[in-house]
Amino acid sequence: MSFARPSAGRTLVLLAAMVWTAIAVAGCGVNNIPTYEEQAKAAWAEVQNNYKRRADLIPNLVETTKGFAAQESKVLKDVIEARAKATQVAPSPDILNNPEAMKKFEAAQGALTGALINLRSITEAYPDLKSNANFLKLQDQIEGTENRIGVARRDYILAVQQYNTELRTIPGRWWKSLLYPTAKEMAEFTAPEQDQTAPKVNFN
């Protein structure tokens, strides 16, 4: 028994049909879930990087301040303790899918922001400190990092909203059931709306 080879014309039609199907499927958002998930993860990594950068700057800031305002030991101690707690509350592997873990992490970072604001308030009484070159450099770095934290948090919030919305709405819900059954919604920041952008720590 022999089979006839498909004609060149038929082969072209089949190829065209396959290409059209691939384009149609791609256009229906079949890749949206993994794409949005990776975008949200990248945004979260940027949040973490900026929080770490802030933590790395704080010891030098405290030491410099101590040289001019050693009597402000309680405020300096509060900053050191808040930094220690913030760095000890390391993000758990499942933090992006665990609202409680996210809440705990954010609370520790928020406490550190508050301690830095208190530190800023005492520097107003020390003009020699405010004119110190090392302090000026550190304050610029801290302020810049706080601003980057605010931007990174905003980008994460938007990325998570896009990803979670895709999982909840059609056709994303269909693709989740068919192709991505293990996809889970990501945790959003639980801070009040007015706190979604980190307060600016201004030492000027």
Number of neighbouring beta carbons within 10 Å of residue 126: 15
CATH classification of 33-195 is 1.20.1440.20, yes or no? yes
Q: Which residues make Cβ contacts (< 8 Å) with residue 42, sequence separation at least 6?
A: 159
pLDDT score, position 198? 45
Could you give the residue ranges of the DSSP H alpha helices within the chain?
8-27, 32-68, 73-88, 99-123, 127-130, 133-168, 172-178
- Residue numbers in the chain where pLDDT is lower than 50: 2, 23, 192-199
CA 74 from centre of chain: 31
- For the chain, the structural domain boundaries read 33-195
Give the 3-state secondary structure of residue 119: helix
pLDDT score, position 74? 94
pLDDT score, position 61? 95
pLDDT digits (tens, 9 = 90+) for 100-123: 999 999 999 999 999 999 999 988
